Chains A and B, each alone.
Chain A
Amino acid sequence: MKMITAIIKPFKLDDVREALGDIGLSGITVTEVKGFGRQKGHTELYRGAEYVVDFLPKVKIEAAVSADMLDQVIEAITKAAQTGKIGDGKIFVSEIQHVVRIRTGETGSEAL
């Protein structure tokens, strides 16, 4: 079981959601986040007072998937979220040690 954490541009969320639905992914968690990477921030100016805004808004998607779906999910997110411009985001993959479905008590890949 793998945990996929993807940071994407906010306006790409709907495309990614659709692409993941198409390959039959059963659920994701979405969070609005802020951060900086190579894209850096921008400058704002109010009556001569200049502020550098370091953190840009992004969307974080978390999806727990079985190992055999991993490549498919990564491909779907990459395709849907890509604009080719700086700031498209990143995908991180990590191991999941244990999963429990709270309603039924099922564990492991049955709970995904």
Chain B
Amino acid sequence: MSIMKLSNTILAGATTLAAAGLPSIAFAEDALNSGDTAWMLTATALVLFMTIPGLSLFYAGMARAKNGLSVMMQCFAITAVMTVIWALYGYSIAFGGEGAYWGGLDKLFLSGLTVDSLSGTIPESVFMTFQMTFAIITPALIVGAFAERMKFSAMLIFMVIWVTVVYAPITHWVWGDGGFLGAMGILDFAGGTVVHINAGVAGLVAAIVVGKRKGYQKTAMPPHNLMFTIVGAAMLWVGWFGFNAGSELAADGTAGMAMAVTQIAAAMAAVMWMLAEWISHGKPSVLGIASGAVAGLVAITPAAGAVGPMGALAIGAASGLGCFIAAVKIKPALGFDDALDAFSVHGVGGIIGALLTGVFCATSLGGAGFGDGNDSIGSQVMTQAYGVGVVLVYTTIVTFIILKVLDLLIGLRVSEDEETEGLDISEHDERAYIL
């Protein structure tokens, strides 16, 4: 009782102080909310947990034993390097100002970020770190496309440039103040376009430019440890609550609904992939059900704060089936070597989710309503498609140019001998398994 009273008094005092001292930020919504802050601290930790160790395990298990460490290393190094870049200038490009195409340099070196600075109802430090974990997982997702043959040095340089000229600007377009896609009323709650389509398309381009693994489709390349993969998928699933429900940036009803629809869509997609495989092959597989869950999580990402539970069921079903067809039927037929299916799951799932968000956000279908400036399913789907198209074209072109230039300057691939020996030994002088 007395503690409650005391904290209320402190809160009231703080609000009064803020109102008296800093009139420009003295609106009610600019006061720190400790409930929101507590949730966002948690959500931030959950999203980091998605990359290390969730995604790292998910991918490393699918790689061959001789490349398992290299995949882990790539994800871990990306985590470290992207953190530094986000602190130096990435956050500023994405959230530093109100331009239509980029945020500017006002927050270079995180200037202005203090113990007291707020972003909405949470400390800006928490918002900045939350967004940082998104800037970590997006490039880490791309790793799946060129796994088992790309040089570590080239990978790292590519990622630094890619986050600078692709990820950070696109984040601003969709989520930054004044960003031109956000201003059109595009619905991308937690990053279907910014994160998943972006990473998936970059992955597809990288898989094609880097080229196929030696012996692809001629020799067996089965996953070396599906226990890692399903444990990693389970961690991704749990972490995704931070990703989606955290994207509300508050602990409120929308965050609650985002969590519910995330769970429902993931489950539905897992069931769909399992059934599709059961029917087409005769047996359900561990890799299949895990892939299905991730496909559902990807597709519900843009929709999380915008659709209702039945919309989530439909989005889950569509992505489970759609990504199954993309990974199992279309990819082998086209012959490109997206080694761990970054595009088939994140690219395709992201596009399905982005478009269906435009349908199931309609209040008549149980959603939370259309984006600003849109008044029908038709116009919202067109807006969503425009956003998808812009990211698809921009990411494809810029990713292609970065990779081609890097290939000329330093080369993208390890030598054939090194590839045969495995990247663990040839790139890191280590082995995962010394038995």
Binding site for B on A (CB under 8 A): 44-49, 51
**Min distance, Cβ B145 to any Cβ of chain A, angstroms:** 14
Q: Per-residue 0/1 for B284-296: is the Cβ within 8 Å of any A Cβ (1 yes, 0 no)?
A: 0101100100000
State how many angstroms separate the Cβ of A55 from the closest Cβ of chain B. 12
A-B contact sample (5 more), CB < 8 A, given A45-B281, A46-B223, A47-B327: A45-B283, A46-B285, A47-B288, A48-B327, A51-B220
B222 and A44 within 8 A (CB): yes
B5 on interface, CB distance cutoff 8 Å:
no
Contact A48 B332 (CB under 8 A): yes
Q: Residue A47 contacts which of B220, B283, B328 (CB distance < 8 angstroms)?
A: B328
Per the bound structure, the CA–CA distance linking A46 and B291 in Å amounts to 11
Q: Which residue of B lies closest to A51 (CB)?
A: B220
Q: Classify the interface of chain A: helix, strand, loop or mixed.
A: strand
The contact string, 1 if C-beta is below 8 Å from chain A, for chain B 346-367, is 0000000000000000000000
- Return the chain A residue nearest B340 by Cβ: A47
Q: How far is the CA of A49 from the CA of B219 in the complex (A)?
A: 11
Instruction: Count contacts on B: residues with CB < 8 A to the other chain.
Output: 16
Whether B329 lies near A49 (C-beta < 8 A) is no
Interface of B is mostly: helix
B329 touches A48 (CB 8 A): yes
- Chain B residues lying within 8 Å of A47, measured Cβ to Cβ, are 287-288, 291, 327-328, 341
Please name all residues of chain A whose beta carbon is closer than 8 Å to the beta carbon of B288 when the two chains form the complex.
Answer: 47
Does B25 sit within 8 A of A, measured CB to CB? no
A51-B220, A51-B222 as given contacts; A46 in contact with B332, CB under 8 Å? no
A45 to B287 CA separation, bound complex (whole angstroms): 9
**In the complex, how many angstroms separate the beta carbon of B349 from the nearest chain A beta carbon?**
14
B270 CB to closest chain A CB (Å) equals: 14
CB-defined contacts of B283 to chain A, threshold 8 Å: 45
Docked CA distance A105–B88 (Å): 76
Verify B291–A49 contact, CB threshold 8 A: no
B390, chain A: closest CB distance, angstroms: 30
How far apart are B52's CB and chain A's nearest CB, in angstroms?
Answer: 24
The interface residues of chain A lying within 8 Å CB-to-CB of B327 are 47-48
CB-CB contacts below 8 Å: B75-112 with A = none
Per-residue CB proximity of B188-222 to A under 8 Å, as 1/0? 00000000000000000000000000000000111
Which residue of chain B lies nearest to A45 when distances are taken between CB atoms in the complex?
A: B281
Give the Cβ gap from A99 to chain B, nearest Cβ, in Å.
34
A44 to B283: give the CA distance in the assembly, Å: 11
